[in-house]
Structures are given as C-alpha cells and as structure tokens.
C-alpha cells in the first residue's frame, strides 16, 4: 500500500489507495492527493514520488499532456466533463501506451465550490494491439474469401463450358444420326448382296459339274482343268 499518499482521515484517499486499478485522487490544483499502488506499478512510478506532486511532473514528464490537463481544469471549473478520454502516453525509454482516462468530480466537504477529481486510468495498449490484430485477421479472411469465391466462380464457368460442349456434341450427333443410320443400312444391304452373289456363283458352278465329280471333289482336283473332256479312270 502507498501509505505516503494516504491521509488516514480522508475516506476518498483511503478508497483510492485500496483500489486494485490505476487510480488518482487529484486536488483542484491538479496535485496528487492519493495514488493507488496499481497506478505506480503499471506506469513504473515510485510511490514516494507521487504524493503532492502535480500531474504533469509524474514519471519522466510523460503525464504532461496539455489536452488532458486542459480538460481536467474544465471539469474542476464545472463547465466540462470527461466520461472517457483516450490518449497516448509516451514513457521515456519504452513504447507508447494507449490509455483511457475517466474522471469523476467529487465535492470537497467544508469548502464551498471546492472539489477533487477521481481519475481512473485504463491501459488499453494490449487491447488496441489485439484490436489491430483482429482487424488484420478479418482483412485476410475477407481477402481469402474473395479469392475463394473467384476460384469457385471460375470452376463453375469451366464446368458450364464443358456441359455446353457436351450438349452441342449430343445435338450434332442427333442431327447426323439419320445419315449415319442410312450408311449402316446401306453397308449391311451391300454385304447381303455380296453374300447372295457368292452363294449363287457357287451354286451355278456346281450345277455345271458332273454330279459324281461334285460328290467326289478329290477326283475333280486330280483330273485338272481338262477333266471335263476325259473319261473317268475308275470305269
């Protein structure tokens, strides 16, 4: 506990000192009345160097934020309020940090018109980094989805083209079908005629030969071409 910044008879200061979040209690001149241990730990400030110092003097001067100080003075004067104020903190020797400041105006008992400010600081550095990473991933997902949609569309176009070519071939086959059928019928008819003529030729040839020679073709072969005019040697 930061006992150096906790007046024992000040409930507001005790509340701030016991807080588990970074918190400051500022007087109306913007000097620190109390600071939580969490504030000192998170922002790397020694507790003994906080109490009764002005906000702009904390740390290495990184809290000297003109815009924030102007807003705080406006809240003290009563003509402005700060629900949430986002700004960048630039500590010396380390990376910038994104913080959100919330301010509540507390009336100071016994002093008419006097007040104090309860200031809560939320470090959003990691949250902001996570948000940027999330945006990057979403952007990559959108890009991948666009590429996938394009590839699917191209694939569908290829399939459609193949189907169209197949349909055209089928239609062409249907158009040429009767001619092909007629060609096949003509070929079969020609074959039948040829077979008929060959069979008729054989029948006529056998009709011209002696009946016995037809029954004994070996004798016909042995007799030679002149066997038709010679006598049968078996007789």
What mean pLDDT value characterizes the chain? 76
Is 3-123 a CATH 3.40.50.720 domain? no
- Asked if residue 206 has pLDDT above 80, the reply is no
β-strand partners of 115? 107
Contact 59, 39 (CB under 8 A): no
CA–CA distance, 31 with 71 (Å, rounded to integer)? 15
Q: Is the pTM of this model over 0.85?
A: no
Report how far apart, in Å, the C-alpha atoms of 161 and of each of 152, 154, 156 are. Answer: 14, 11, 9
Question: What is d(CA 207, CA 209) in angstroms, rounded to the nearest whole number?
Answer: 6
Cα 103 from Cα 76, distance rounded (Å) = 10
Q: Which of 66-70, 156-160, 184-188, 204-208 has the highest mean pLDDT?
A: 66-70
> Quick one: 82 exposed, middle or buried, by C-beta within 10 A (0-12, 13-18, 19+)?
middle
Give 27-62 pLDDT, tens digit per residue.
989 999 999 999 999 998 998 888 889 999 998 889
* CA separation for the pair 165, 203 (Å, rounded): 55
Range from 3-12, 39-48, 101-110, 223-232 that averages highest in pLDDT: 39-48
Tell me the per-residue pLDDT of 149-186, one tens digit each, with 9 for 90 and over.
888 888 888 888 888 887 766 666 555 555 555 555 55
The stretch 85-101 carries a mean pLDDT of 88
Say yes or no to pLDDT of 82 above 70.
Answer: yes
What HEC string does 90-105 produce?
Answer: CCCCCCCEEEEEEEEE
Please determine, for residue 121, whether its predicted confidence score (pLDDT) is greater than 60. yes
pLDDT attached to residue 136: 86
- Percent of all residues in the chain with a pLDDT value above 90, rounded to a whole number: 23
pLDDT value for 214: 46
What's the CA gap between 27 and 32, in Å, rounded?
6
Residue-level pLDDT at 3? 46
| Domain edges within the chain | 3-123, 132-216
Residue 211 CA: distances (Å) to CA of 42, 222, 228: 131, 16, 12
């Amino acid at each position: 506990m930061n006992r150096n910044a906790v007046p024992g008879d000040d409930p507001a200061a005790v509340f701030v000192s016991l807080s588990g979040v970074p918190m400051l209690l500022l007087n109306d001149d913007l000097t620190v009345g109390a600071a939580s241990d969490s504030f000192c730990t998170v922002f790397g400030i020694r507790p003994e160097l906080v109490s009764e110092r002005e906000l702009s003097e904390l740390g290495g001067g990184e809290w000297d934020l003109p815009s924030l100080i102007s807003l705080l003075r406006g809240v003290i004067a009563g003509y402005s309020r700060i629900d949430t104020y986002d700004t960048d903190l630039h500590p010396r020797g380390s990376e910038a940090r994104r913080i959100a400041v919330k301010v509540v105006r507390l009336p100071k008992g016994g002093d008419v018109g006097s007040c104090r400010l309860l200031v809560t600081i939320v470090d959003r550095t990691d949250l902001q980094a996570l948000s940027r990473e999330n945006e990057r991933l979403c952007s990559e997902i959108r890009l991948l989805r666009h590429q996938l949609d394009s590839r699917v569309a191209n694939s569908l176009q290829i399939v459609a083209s193949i189907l169209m070519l197949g349909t055209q071939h089928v239609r062409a086959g249907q158009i040429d079908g009767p001619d092909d059928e007629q060609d096949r019928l003509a070929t079969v008819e020609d074959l039948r005629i040829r077979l008929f003529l060959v069979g008729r030729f054989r029948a006529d040839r056998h009709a011209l030969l002696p009946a016995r020679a037809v029954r004994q073709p070996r004798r016909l072969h042995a007799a030679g071409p002149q066997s038709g005019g010679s006598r049968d040697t078996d007789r």
